Amino acid sequence: MKANVADIIAMMDMIAPPDLAEDWDNVGLQVGLAEWNVDKIWIALDPTPQVMAAACNNHVDLLITHHPLIFKPLKSVDLNKAIGSIINQAIQNKTAIFAAHTNLDTVSGGVNDVLSERIGLMNTTVLVKPAGTGRLNNETKAYDTYPLVTAERHNGLGRVGKLEKDMCLKDFSGVVRERLGLENIRVVGNPGLRVFKAAVCSGSGSGLMGHFFSSGAQVYISGDIGYHNARDVESANLGLIDLGHFASEHLIIDSVVTRLRKMTADSKMDICIEGCTIERDPFWCIDDIV
Protein backbone atom coordinates (compact mmCIF):
# COMPACT_ATOMS: atom_id res chain seq x y z
CA MET A 1 0.00 0.00 0.00
CA LYS A 2 1.37 3.41 -0.96
CA ALA A 3 1.54 6.05 1.75
CA ASN A 4 1.73 9.81 1.75
CA VAL A 5 2.73 12.44 4.29
CA ALA A 6 -0.82 12.70 5.63
CA ASP A 7 -0.87 8.97 6.41
CA ILE A 8 2.30 9.19 8.47
CA ILE A 9 1.15 12.34 10.24
CA ALA A 10 -1.99 10.48 11.31
CA MET A 11 0.19 7.77 12.85
CA MET A 12 2.49 10.27 14.56
CA ASP A 13 -0.56 12.01 15.98
CA MET A 14 -1.50 8.70 17.61
CA ILE A 15 1.99 8.36 19.10
CA ALA A 16 2.10 12.00 20.26
CA PRO A 17 -1.29 13.73 20.03
CA PRO A 18 -0.76 17.35 18.94
CA ASP A 19 -3.26 18.67 21.50
CA LEU A 20 -0.72 17.73 24.19
CA ALA A 21 1.73 20.31 22.86
CA GLU A 22 2.30 23.51 24.81
CA ASP A 23 0.59 26.61 23.45
CA TRP A 24 3.98 28.24 22.79
CA ASP A 25 5.19 25.25 20.79
CA ASN A 26 5.02 24.61 17.04
CA VAL A 27 4.43 20.96 16.23
CA GLY A 28 3.20 19.17 13.13
CA LEU A 29 4.08 19.62 9.46
CA GLN A 30 6.83 22.23 9.12
CA VAL A 31 7.55 22.04 5.37
CA GLY A 32 5.91 20.10 2.55
CA LEU A 33 2.55 18.88 1.30
CA ALA A 34 0.27 16.30 2.86
CA GLU A 35 -0.13 14.53 -0.48
CA TRP A 36 3.59 13.94 -1.12
CA ASN A 37 4.37 10.22 -1.42
CA VAL A 38 6.47 8.58 1.32
CA ASP A 39 8.75 5.60 0.74
CA LYS A 40 11.54 6.48 3.16
CA ILE A 41 11.45 8.16 6.59
CA TRP A 42 14.21 9.36 8.87
CA ILE A 43 13.75 10.13 12.57
CA ALA A 44 16.11 12.71 14.12
CA LEU A 45 16.37 14.99 17.12
CA ASP A 46 17.20 18.21 15.26
CA PRO A 47 16.58 19.43 11.69
CA THR A 48 20.11 20.77 11.28
CA PRO A 49 21.58 21.69 7.88
CA GLN A 50 23.77 18.57 8.10
CA VAL A 51 20.82 16.29 8.83
CA MET A 52 18.75 17.85 6.06
CA ALA A 53 21.55 17.55 3.50
CA ALA A 54 22.09 13.90 4.42
CA ALA A 55 18.35 13.22 4.24
CA CYS A 56 18.14 14.69 0.75
CA ASN A 57 21.24 12.79 -0.39
CA ASN A 58 19.66 9.57 0.87
CA HIS A 59 16.34 10.26 -0.88
CA VAL A 60 14.35 10.60 2.34
CA ASP A 61 10.74 11.61 1.72
CA LEU A 62 9.84 12.59 5.29
CA LEU A 63 12.13 13.84 8.05
CA ILE A 64 10.52 13.55 11.49
CA THR A 65 12.29 15.55 14.19
CA HIS A 66 11.76 16.23 17.87
CA HIS A 67 12.76 19.88 17.83
CA PRO A 68 10.81 22.00 15.33
CA LEU A 69 12.52 23.61 12.37
CA ILE A 70 10.25 26.65 12.69
CA PHE A 71 9.97 27.48 16.39
CA LYS A 72 9.65 31.26 16.33
CA PRO A 73 7.68 33.11 13.63
CA LEU A 74 9.81 33.77 10.55
CA LYS A 75 10.16 37.34 9.35
CA SER A 76 11.78 36.23 6.11
CA VAL A 77 13.01 33.13 4.29
CA ASP A 78 16.59 33.99 3.37
CA LEU A 79 18.06 31.09 1.39
CA ASN A 80 21.56 32.11 2.54
CA LYS A 81 20.63 31.44 6.17
CA ALA A 82 20.26 28.04 7.83
CA ILE A 83 16.47 27.83 8.07
CA GLY A 84 15.95 29.26 4.59
CA SER A 85 18.47 26.83 3.13
CA ILE A 86 16.77 23.88 4.84
CA ILE A 87 13.35 24.96 3.60
CA ASN A 88 14.75 25.35 0.09
CA GLN A 89 16.32 21.87 0.15
CA ALA A 90 13.11 20.37 1.49
CA ILE A 91 11.01 21.84 -1.29
CA GLN A 92 13.48 21.11 -4.09
CA ASN A 93 13.87 17.47 -2.99
CA LYS A 94 10.24 16.99 -1.90
CA THR A 95 11.43 16.03 1.58
CA ALA A 96 8.72 16.95 4.05
CA ILE A 97 9.64 17.94 7.62
CA PHE A 98 7.43 17.13 10.61
CA ALA A 99 7.99 17.82 14.32
CA ALA A 100 6.67 16.15 17.48
CA HIS A 101 8.06 18.21 20.35
CA THR A 102 6.41 18.91 23.71
CA ASN A 103 3.60 16.50 22.85
CA LEU A 104 6.20 13.70 22.56
CA ASP A 105 7.84 14.80 25.81
CA THR A 106 4.61 14.67 27.79
CA VAL A 107 2.69 11.73 26.37
CA SER A 108 2.59 8.36 28.08
CA GLY A 109 5.33 6.27 26.49
CA GLY A 110 7.12 9.40 25.30
CA VAL A 111 10.56 10.84 26.06
CA ASN A 112 10.23 10.98 29.85
CA ASP A 113 8.94 7.42 30.11
CA VAL A 114 11.68 6.08 27.83
CA LEU A 115 14.31 7.96 29.85
CA SER A 116 12.91 6.62 33.14
CA GLU A 117 12.82 3.07 31.81
CA ARG A 118 16.38 3.22 30.52
CA ILE A 119 17.60 4.46 33.90
CA GLY A 120 15.70 1.66 35.62
CA LEU A 121 13.10 3.59 37.58
CA MET A 122 10.09 1.64 38.80
CA ASN A 123 6.49 2.57 39.63
CA THR A 124 6.83 5.95 37.95
CA THR A 125 4.33 8.77 38.27
CA VAL A 126 4.36 12.23 36.70
CA LEU A 127 6.48 14.85 38.42
CA VAL A 128 3.82 17.52 37.85
CA LYS A 129 0.33 16.07 37.73
CA PRO A 130 -2.19 17.29 35.14
CA ALA A 131 -4.64 19.93 36.25
CA GLY A 132 -7.60 19.65 33.89
CA THR A 133 -6.81 21.05 30.46
CA GLY A 134 -4.92 24.07 31.73
CA ARG A 135 -1.49 25.14 30.58
CA LEU A 136 1.72 25.64 32.52
CA ASN A 137 2.11 29.00 34.18
CA ASN A 138 5.06 31.24 33.42
CA GLU A 139 6.89 30.16 36.57
CA THR A 140 7.42 26.63 35.25
CA LYS A 141 7.97 27.39 31.59
CA ALA A 142 11.33 26.57 30.01
CA TYR A 143 12.37 25.74 26.47
CA ASP A 144 11.58 22.06 26.88
CA THR A 145 8.91 21.99 29.58
CA TYR A 146 5.64 20.36 28.81
CA PRO A 147 1.85 20.75 28.80
CA LEU A 148 -0.66 19.91 31.47
CA VAL A 149 -3.22 17.51 30.04
CA THR A 150 -6.16 15.37 31.09
CA ALA A 151 -5.68 13.03 34.04
CA GLU A 152 -6.97 9.82 32.43
CA ARG A 153 -3.56 8.91 31.01
CA HIS A 154 0.00 8.82 32.31
CA ASN A 155 0.71 12.22 30.73
CA GLY A 156 2.39 15.17 32.36
CA LEU A 157 5.60 16.92 33.33
CA GLY A 158 8.60 14.72 34.08
CA ARG A 159 8.53 11.48 36.05
CA VAL A 160 9.29 10.28 39.58
CA GLY A 161 10.14 6.67 40.37
CA LYS A 162 11.93 4.29 42.73
CA LEU A 163 15.34 2.79 42.15
CA GLU A 164 15.66 -0.98 41.84
CA LYS A 165 17.69 -0.79 45.05
CA ASP A 166 18.93 2.10 47.12
CA MET A 167 22.55 3.16 46.63
CA CYS A 168 24.82 6.14 47.09
CA LEU A 169 24.70 9.04 44.63
CA LYS A 170 28.14 8.23 43.24
CA ASP A 171 27.17 4.63 42.42
CA PHE A 172 23.80 5.65 41.01
CA SER A 173 25.47 8.24 38.77
CA GLY A 174 27.70 5.46 37.45
CA VAL A 175 24.66 3.29 36.75
CA VAL A 176 22.93 6.13 34.88
CA ARG A 177 26.03 6.85 32.81
CA GLU A 178 26.45 3.17 31.91
CA ARG A 179 22.79 2.53 31.06
CA LEU A 180 22.64 5.58 28.82
CA GLY A 181 26.01 4.86 27.24
CA LEU A 182 27.46 8.27 28.09
CA GLU A 183 31.11 9.22 28.43
CA ASN A 184 30.50 12.16 30.75
CA ILE A 185 27.78 13.47 33.04
CA ARG A 186 27.78 16.29 35.58
CA VAL A 187 26.84 15.47 39.18
CA VAL A 188 25.98 17.73 42.12
CA GLY A 189 25.74 16.64 45.75
CA ASN A 190 27.39 14.50 48.38
CA PRO A 191 28.74 11.36 46.64
CA GLY A 192 27.67 9.32 49.66
CA LEU A 193 24.06 10.56 49.64
CA ARG A 194 21.68 7.60 49.87
CA VAL A 195 19.30 7.52 46.91
CA PHE A 196 16.14 5.40 46.61
CA LYS A 197 13.85 7.72 44.64
CA ALA A 198 14.66 9.82 41.57
CA ALA A 199 12.92 12.49 39.49
CA VAL A 200 13.59 12.99 35.77
CA CYS A 201 12.76 15.63 33.19
CA SER A 202 14.00 15.30 29.63
CA GLY A 203 15.40 18.33 27.84
CA SER A 204 15.63 21.51 29.94
CA GLY A 205 14.54 20.75 33.48
CA SER A 206 15.48 23.89 35.40
CA GLY A 207 11.89 25.13 35.31
CA LEU A 208 10.75 22.21 37.44
CA MET A 209 13.28 22.46 40.27
CA GLY A 210 10.58 23.43 42.77
CA HIS A 211 8.59 20.34 41.91
CA PHE A 212 11.68 18.19 42.38
CA PHE A 213 12.26 19.64 45.85
CA SER A 214 8.70 18.74 46.88
CA SER A 215 8.64 15.31 45.19
CA GLY A 216 10.42 13.34 47.91
CA ALA A 217 13.12 12.29 45.44
CA GLN A 218 16.75 12.45 46.49
CA VAL A 219 18.15 13.12 43.01
CA TYR A 220 17.00 15.00 39.91
CA ILE A 221 18.08 13.84 36.43
CA SER A 222 17.73 16.33 33.59
CA GLY A 223 19.63 18.66 31.27
CA ASP A 224 20.49 22.34 30.88
CA ILE A 225 20.77 22.83 34.64
CA GLY A 226 22.25 26.15 35.75
CA TYR A 227 24.84 27.05 38.38
CA HIS A 228 22.34 28.49 40.87
CA ASN A 229 20.13 25.41 40.46
CA ALA A 230 23.14 23.32 41.42
CA ARG A 231 23.79 25.45 44.48
CA ASP A 232 20.14 25.13 45.56
CA VAL A 233 20.33 21.34 45.27
CA GLU A 234 23.60 21.27 47.17
CA SER A 235 22.15 23.43 49.95
CA ALA A 236 19.15 21.11 50.25
CA ASN A 237 21.51 18.12 50.67
CA LEU A 238 20.06 16.52 47.56
CA GLY A 239 21.59 15.26 44.31
CA LEU A 240 21.53 16.34 40.70
CA ILE A 241 22.63 14.55 37.53
CA ASP A 242 22.88 16.73 34.43
CA LEU A 243 22.88 14.50 31.34
CA GLY A 244 22.85 17.36 28.87
CA HIS A 245 19.91 18.24 26.64
CA PHE A 246 20.95 16.00 23.75
CA ALA A 247 21.54 12.84 25.80
CA SER A 248 18.28 13.18 27.73
CA GLU A 249 16.21 13.25 24.54
CA HIS A 250 18.09 11.52 21.73
CA LEU A 251 17.14 8.11 23.16
CA ILE A 252 13.56 8.62 21.91
CA ILE A 253 14.69 8.10 18.29
CA ASP A 254 14.83 4.29 18.45
CA SER A 255 11.47 4.16 20.22
CA VAL A 256 9.73 6.22 17.52
CA VAL A 257 11.38 4.14 14.79
CA THR A 258 10.12 0.90 16.38
CA ARG A 259 6.59 2.15 16.92
CA LEU A 260 6.26 3.69 13.48
CA ARG A 261 7.62 0.57 11.80
CA LYS A 262 4.95 -1.53 13.52
CA MET A 263 2.16 0.87 12.64
CA THR A 264 3.13 1.04 8.96
CA ALA A 265 3.58 -2.73 8.79
CA ASP A 266 0.15 -3.26 10.34
CA SER A 267 -1.26 -0.97 7.64
CA LYS A 268 0.54 -2.97 4.91
CA MET A 269 2.72 0.00 3.99
CA ASP A 270 6.12 -0.84 2.52
CA ILE A 271 8.17 2.03 3.96
CA CYS A 272 11.81 2.22 5.03
CA ILE A 273 12.00 3.85 8.47
CA GLU A 274 15.40 4.61 10.00
CA GLY A 275 16.93 6.67 12.74
CA CYS A 276 19.36 9.34 11.56
CA THR A 277 22.86 8.16 12.46
CA ILE A 278 24.90 11.33 11.91
CA GLU A 279 23.67 13.40 14.88
CA ARG A 280 26.09 14.21 17.66
CA ASP A 281 25.84 16.24 20.86
CA PRO A 282 26.98 19.80 19.98
CA PHE A 283 28.96 19.91 23.25
CA TRP A 284 32.25 18.07 23.35
CA CYS A 285 35.02 17.54 25.90
CA ILE A 286 38.61 18.38 25.08
CA ASP A 287 39.62 14.76 25.78
CA ASP A 288 37.30 13.69 22.94
CA ILE A 289 39.46 15.46 20.33
CA VAL A 290 42.38 13.42 19.03
Q: Are residues 96 and 55 in contact, defined by beta-carbon separation less than 8 angstroms?
A: no
Element (DSSP H or E) covering residue 12: helix 5-15
Q: Are residues 21 and 101 in contact, defined by beta-carbon separation less than 8 angstroms?
A: yes
Ranges of each domain in the chain: 3-103+252-275, 108-243
pTM of the model: 0.90
Q: Do domains 3-103+252-275 and 108-243 have the same CATH topology?
A: yes
Helix (H, G, I), strand (E, B) or coil at 236: coil
CA-based Rg of the chain, rounded to a whole angstrom?
Answer: 19
Q: Which CATH class is domain 108-243?
A: alpha beta
Q: What is the pLDDT along the chain (290 residues), one digit of tens a residue?
A: 899 999 999 999 999 999 999 889 999 999 999 999 999 999 999 999 999 999 999 999 999 999 999 999 999 999 999 999 999 999 999 999 999 999 999 999 999 999 999 999 999 999 987 544 434 433 333 334 333 333 345 798 899 999 999 999 999 999 999 999 999 999 999 999 999 999 999 999 999 999 999 999 999 999 999 999 999 999 999 999 999 999 999 999 999 999 999 999 999 999 999 999 999 999 988 876 65
The superfamily CATH assigns to domain 3-103+252-275 is NIF3 (NGG1p interacting factor 3)-like (3.40.1390.30)
Q: What is the Cα–Cα distance from 243 to 206, expressed in whole angstroms?
A: 13
Residue type, 177: R
Residues 135, 140, 144, 150, Cα dihedral to 10°? -30
Q: Which of 203, 18, 20, 4 is nearest to 99 (CA)?
A: 18
